[in-house]
Amino acid sequence: MKNMKKIIVVVVSIIMLGYIIFGINSCTNKKEAHALKIKTAVVHRGDLMSKVTNTGSVQPKTTVQIKSNVGGEIVRLPVKEGDWVEKGDLLVELDTTNLKNKLSQSEADLATAKAKLSTLLAGERPQEIDKTRELLHQAEIKLEDAKIKLDRQNGLFSQGFISKQDVDTAQRECDLTQSIYNSASLNLSLMLEGAREQDITSAKASVLKAEVAYEQAASDVSDAMIYAPLSGTILEKNVEEGEKITSGIGNNSGGTVILTIGDLSTMQILTMINEVDIATVKIGQDVEITLDAIKGEKYQGRVTDIASLGKVENNIVTYDVVVEILGVGSGRQEVEGRSQEKAGIRQAADGRWKRGGDREIQGHKGTEGGRSLEFGVRRRQKAESRWMTTDDRRLKAEEGISRVPNPAFLTKKLKTGMTADVDIVTDKKTNVLYVPLEAIVEHKGRKGVLVLENGKFVHRKIETGIQDETHVHVIEGLTEGEEVKLKSLTPKKGEN
């Protein structure tokens, strides 16, 4: 009996333990279910920008590779990377020993060619003509003597006093003197007639050829001294003194790049845009720029050039796009204003630009230290003809942009080769409705959202416009303040 009671107690305890465990699990599941709620967002009104984002490399706007027109050994190279050089400063000096030898040889060849031409034009000297006449007279006398001797020998041979051999000898002497006489007569005729026209033409051509060779040799000697074609900073130095370089002219390899000079007063960014986005990128568009090496600062720029030919790499087509860096600021006008303020320029109430105190710069233009400056902002026409050339579009895009170079504080921070993140603003809408991209649902090719109406979410079709990384412009279908459902679920605040 006692054993039976024990069995009943154990069975009842097991059943009660099972109910307890089931109840705990049920409560836990309900708690977890209630811990999640539907994520929603409110339709807001504000500004929205569509951007094309990529990375690029900071480069000087103007970069020049220094090569030599002649080859040779470098005997002087007085610059190093990072040096500032002025236009006209000596950069490279080559050994001129061989070049000067060639110059001397070409000078001598020119003198010889000129002397020959001068002789032909002047004709033979009278003394030479008299000498030739005398030679002709002597040849004539010898010819007469030879003829007389030949007649005598023929008479003696007919009488049987001499042999046939003696007659033949006299005949040969007569023929030889006749040839000498003919040659002397021809020489005199040529002297009296003067030089032929074709001889003069040939001599003139020889003089011209010698002059070209001399000028080239003189130019080669001059080219052995290489001077800076612009003011700028030495970005690269590829050779040292004592090295031999090849000429950049007539060389399949293009010649040795000795130095690279860059004008760091105006910097730009070279980036590559995918073919999917390139159609939305236009010359003149604003660009927001950040640099990995300069934290916490945002720079402004504008698109100045777009390549017409794409590059294919790994089956991906990209187009080179150039972005000019305008300065630090939140917008182009702010950047331009700051640049003009740095230059000591202010805008008067009548819209004209003034520098310093009261002196007025007429017609939005002026000069400073011989350098032309152009100020003011001219309104850029929005419409562009589809037949405009790239240069025409570039000129239109540059209207209204201050030509003041980057401020010194900016160019000191920016270094060639820095990595930059560029956001090209392809479109901008102000005071428009927008919702998170996460709220958009598609049904049968139409976009829509789930709007909260009377405690329930109702599907509503909408028309959308531009979008950024997180939001999309709602053109039609929603009103400000409405609440829309997002696709994800989030835990309730304060619950784990």
Query: CA quadruple 160, 164, 170, 175: dihedral positive or negative?
Result: positive
Phi, psi of 357 (to 5 degrees): -90, -100
Other C-beta atoms closer than 10 Å to the C-beta of 91 total 22
Q: Which residue has the tokens 């001219």?
A: 378
In eight-state DSSP terms, residue 70 is S
- Strand ranges for 13-104 from DSSP E: 36-42, 44-66, 72-76, 84-85, 90-94
Specify whether the CB–CB gap between 105 and 218 falls below 8 A.
no
The amino acid sitting at 11 is V
- Stated pTM of the model: 0.56
Residues 21-61: tens digit of each pLDDT:
655 555 544 444 444 478 889 999 999 988 999 999 999 98
Residues 107-130: tens digit of each pLDDT:
999 999 999 888 887 766 777 777
Could you tell me how many residues make up the chain? 496
pLDDT at residue 249, as a whole number:
83
pLDDT at residue 353, as a whole number:
38
Q: How far apart are CA 173 and CA 125, in angstroms?
A: 33
Q: How far apart are CA 410 and CA 265, in angstroms?
A: 9
Looking at beta carbons, which pairs linking 103-106 to residues 24 or more positions away fall under 8 Å?
Answer: 103/214, 103/217, 103/218, 103/220, 103/221, 105/217, 106/210, 106/213, 106/214, 106/216, 106/217
Compute the C-alpha angle 484/486/492, nearest 5°. Answer: 105
pLDDT at residue 132, as a whole number:
81
pLDDT at residue 386, as a whole number:
31
The CA-atom distances, in angstroms, between 410 and each of 168, 344, 403 are: 108, 17, 15
Q: How far apart are CA 286 and CA 296, in angstroms?
A: 20
Helices of type H across 194-324: 197-223, 275-278
Structural Rg of the chain based on CA atoms: 48
End-to-end CA distance of the chain: 52
pLDDT at residue 131, as a whole number:
83
Q: How far apart are CA 273 and CA 318, in angstroms?
A: 5
Compute the C-alpha angle 386/392/398, nearest 5°. Answer: 120
Taking every pair of C-alpha atoms in the chain, what is the biggest distance, in angstroms? 195
Non-local CB neighbours of 144 within 8 Å, separated by 6+ positions = none
pLDDT tens, the chain, 496 aa long: 556 666 666 666 677 766 666 555 555 444 444 444 788 899 999 999 889 999 999 999 889 999 999 999 999 999 999 899 999 999 999 999 999 999 999 999 999 999 988 888 776 677 777 788 888 888 888 888 888 988 888 888 888 888 889 888 989 999 998 999 899 888 877 776 666 788 888 989 999 999 999 999 999 999 999 999 999 999 999 999 999 999 988 777 788 999 999 988 888 999 999 999 999 999 999 999 999 888 888 999 999 999 999 999 899 999 999 999 988 765 444 444 444 443 333 343 343 333 333 333 233 333 333 333 332 222 233 333 333 343 443 444 444 433 345 555 455 678 888 999 999 999 999 999 999 999 999 877 789 999 999 889 999 999 999 888 889 999 998 989 999 999 865 444 444 3
Burial class (CB in 10 A: 0-12, 13-18, 19+), 273: buried
pLDDT at residue 207, as a whole number:
93
pLDDT at residue 192, as a whole number:
64
Residues 385-435: tens digit of each pLDDT:
333 343 443 444 444 433 345 555 455 678 888 999 999 999 999 999 999
Compute the half-sphere exposure of residue 180: CA atoms within 13 Å on the CB side of its CA: 18
